Amino acid sequence: MGWKWDKNKCLRCGGCVAVCPTQALELTENGIEWDESRCIHCGICEEFCPVKAIKVKKEKKEDKK
Amino acid sequence: MRDVIVVGAGPGGTAAAKYLASKGYDVVIYEKRQEIGAPKRCGEGISFGGLERLGLELPKNCVRQVINSALVYAPDNSHVEVSYGKDYGYVVERKMFDKWLAEEAVRKGAKVKAKTYIKEVLKEDGKVVGVRGEHLGEEFEEKCKVLIAADGIESKISRMAGLNTTANPMLVDSGFQYEMTGIKISDPKKIHLYFGNDIAPRGYIWIFPKGEDVANVGIGIVGKSQKSAKEYLSEFVEKTEGLKDGSILEVNSGGIPIGGLMNKMTLDNFLAIGDAAHQVNPINGGGMYEAQFAARIAADVIDEGIQKGDTSEKQLDKYNKKWWEERGNKLKKVEKIREVSEKLSDEDFNFLAKELKGDNLIDFSRGQGLKGLGKILIKKPHLAKYVKGLHLEF
Ligand SMILES: Cc1cc2nc3c(=O)[nH]c(=O)nc-3n(C[C@H](O)[C@H](O)[C@H](O)COP(=O)(O)OP(=O)(O)OC[C@H]3O[C@@H](n4cnc5c(N)ncnc54)[C@H](O)[C@@H]3O)c2cc1C
Ligand code: SF4
Ligand code: SF4
């Protein structure tokens, strides 16, 4: 539950998909889809998003890099 | 079985299909959007030089504004005028431009299908052989001799095919833009570029006019900034006379690759072009030209491969080599200049605005004039250290 996407803010630009290091994101008909099993909660997508549509909670310590 | 399947109907994909169809190949473009060209992720600027090299003569309905110079502002508002001495480029209407490019491809014999989402790359013995997609709810599979990934910044197709195109987040600008109207543009033939760490850290703000009271007003910054691109741009608009009372026609955003050029953009039966392969000018963010330029090289190499019956990675490697020779090495130099510009403080920008001439800036965006930049940097001890990064020989 450490990743939140705000569909009202998102402009469907796909930038977050490009920078996600683990390919956890995909831009589909339904907007940004998040694959929890791939996400390492690095926060890169949140830092990138031009409109702050993503919030990532950095959960585990070992995930920090 | 098709000769070639292209994923993505941006400038790169449509150009590749056009070149291949002109050579007589059976080629199709699949585009996931329901409307080609919209929503745009672009400031819509392109130079006459670029269009000429691509052999493109735009129909009137694609052109919004002719540009003849650029005003580049330092944080203290001093500026350098980059005057090309004559009309230099266009601000186009991407919705019309991209559709026209697709029409041109079809006129040459290609097929285009919008609202077709490619979900999967099919492989046999580890080699790319086709795609699985969906058009208006109907699934299909199709095979091809060569697959071209022209799917833009997301670059999912390459990754599915087995080519790692994940972008280094520090090398993708976070872009945000308003297309505005009800604004005052003093001279629509001039574009405006604003630098400064408070207004656009490690990037800049642009105004690209589309007439006397319409413009693309946008920003590109490195993702790791204090505020979001939208916040920086909104602050700029609110404090800028002529803009602050304007209306918003469109809101655009996107990632702009500003580096991370790839040595290897090929696999067996597969290659990537355009944003999908990070082929963008690292200083001005221009990618429409780059994608189409690469498409032409790709089409030539694929043509040769199919004729020989060999579209292996080894054969397609000629695309990597040719692209680097004709384009990559130049863009790499542009990237070096960008790397220096990212380290500059506001005082440094003010200093450079006084030292640099318009011609210097034209050279920089072409990867030229590095020596001139080096000579100016050397004047200030704290800037002299960046000269090394330019890899110059004096
Ligand atoms: C804010 C901003 C401003 C810019 N300003 C300029 C500028 O002024 N001048 C300039 O030259 N460049 C500019 N650029 C860059 C330029 O827009 C891109 O470089 C250019 O569009 C790249 O073309 P392309 O064909 O590689 O990809 P795109 O134009 O991105 O096309 C890719 C296409 O592939 C489709 N696609 C993706 N995945 C799939 C799939 N799975 N199935 C089917 N279709 C798919 C997409 O929907 C898209 O239509 C700007 C970019 C941004 C973000
Ligand atoms: S970067 Fe932000 S606006 Fe763009 S698709 Fe991702 S969540 Fe949406
Ligand atoms: S937090 Fe990191 S791994 Fe998770 S979706 Fe965002 S970029 Fe990908």
Closest CA to B260 of B175, B149, B172, B157: B172
- B32, B62, B160: residue to mutate for ligand 1 pocket, most atoms within 8 A of CB: B32
Look at ligand 1, atom 39, and give the residue with the nearest C-alpha.
B151
- Confidence (pLDDT) at B380: 86
Residue in the block written with tokens 């046999």: B124
Q: In this predicted model, what pLDDT tens digit does every residue of A31-55 receive, in sequence order?
A: 999 999 999 999 999 999 999 999 9
* pLDDT higher than 90, residue A59: no
Dihedrals phi, psi of B337, to nearest 5 degrees: -65, -40
Dihedrals phi, psi of B120, to nearest 5 degrees: -150, 145
Residue in the block written with tokens 């003093």: B186
- Confidence (pLDDT) at A64: 45
User: Looking at the domain assignment, is residue A62 inside a domain?
Assistant: no
User: Looking at the domain assignment, is residue A42 inside a domain?
Assistant: yes
Q: In this predicted model, what pLDDT tens digit does every residue of B54-86 receive, in sequence order?
A: 999 999 999 999 999 999 999 999 999 988 789
* pLDDT higher than 90, residue A63: no
Q: In this predicted model, what pLDDT tens digit does every residue of B99-139 receive, in sequence order?
A: 999 999 999 999 999 999 999 999 999 999 999 999 999 99
Q: B381 pLDDT band (50/70/90 cuts)? A: confident
User: Looking at the domain assignment, is residue A11 inside a domain?
Assistant: yes
**What's chain A's average pLDDT?**
89
Residue B131 near residue B121 (C-beta atoms within 8 A)? yes
Q: Which residues pair with B238 in a beta bridge?
A: none
Of B166, B174, B228, which is closest to A21 when you measure between CB atoms?
B166
Mutate: best of B40, B160, B165, B174, partner A, most A CBs <10 A:
B174
- Confidence (pLDDT) at B363: 83
- Confidence (pLDDT) at A60: 56
Q: What is the distance of C-alpha B378 from the center of its chain?
A: 32
User: Looking at the domain assignment, is residue A19 inside a domain?
Assistant: yes
Residue B174 near residue B228 (C-beta atoms within 8 A)? yes
* pLDDT higher than 50, residue A65: no
Where in the sequence is the domain holding A46, given as residue range(s)? 2-57
Which ligand 2 atom minimizes the distance to the CA of A11? 3
User: Looking at the domain assignment, is residue A15 inside a domain?
Assistant: yes
Residues of A in contact with B255 (CB under 8 A): 13-15, 18-19, 48
Beta strands in chain B (DSSP E): 2-7, 27-30, 45-47, 63-67, 69-73, 79-83, 89-92, 111-113, 116-124, 127-135, 138-149, 172-181, 190-194, 204-209, 214-222, 247-257, 266-267, 270-272
User: Looking at the domain assignment, is residue A22 inside a domain?
Assistant: yes
Q: In this predicted model, what pLDDT tens digit does every residue of A9-35 receive, in sequence order?
A: 999 999 999 999 999 999 988 999 999
Q: B34 pLDDT band (50/70/90 cuts)? A: very high
CATH number of the domain encompassing residue A13: 3.30.70.20
Mean pLDDT within B283-311: 97
ipTM of the complex: 0.90
Q: B279 — contact with chain A (CB < 8 Å)?
A: no
Residue in the block written with tokens 């702009």: B256
CA end-to-end span of chain B: 56
Q: B391 pLDDT band (50/70/90 cuts)? A: low
User: Looking at the domain assignment, is residue A64 inside a domain?
Assistant: no
Alpha-carbon torsion (B6, B108, B322, B258), positive or negative: negative
Q: What is the distance of C-alpha A33 from the center of its chain?
A: 9
Q: What whole-number distance in Å separates Cα of residue A48 and Cα of residue A32? A: 14
User: SS3 breakdown of chain B: % helix, strand, coil, rounded to 5?
Assistant: 35, 30, 35
What's the structural domain count of chain A? 1
Which residues are within 8 A (CB) of B318 and not within 5 positions of it... i.e. 6 or more apart?
B301, B304
User: Looking at the domain assignment, is residue A65 inside a domain?
Assistant: no
Full set of structural domains in chain B with CATH: 2-59+94-167+262-333 (3.50.50.60), 68-87+169-257 (3.30.9.10), 335-390 (no CATH)
Q: What pTM did the predictor assign?
A: 0.95
Report the separation in Å between the CA atom of B258 and the middle of ligand 2, taken as the mean of its atom positions: 18
**What's chain B's average pLDDT?**
94
Q: In this predicted model, what pLDDT tens digit does every residue of B232-263 receive, in sequence order?
A: 999 999 999 999 999 999 999 999 999 999 99
Q: What whole-number distance in Å separates Cα of residue B206 and Cα of residue B367? A: 20
Q: What whole-number distance in Å separates Cα of residue B177 and Cα of residue B341? A: 22
Q: B394 pLDDT band (50/70/90 cuts)? A: very low
Q: In this predicted model, what pLDDT tens digit does every residue of B195-238 receive, in sequence order?
A: 999 999 989 999 999 999 999 999 999 878 889 999 999 999 99
- Confidence (pLDDT) at A62: 53
- Confidence (pLDDT) at B111: 98
Q: B229 — contact with chain A (CB < 8 Å)?
A: yes
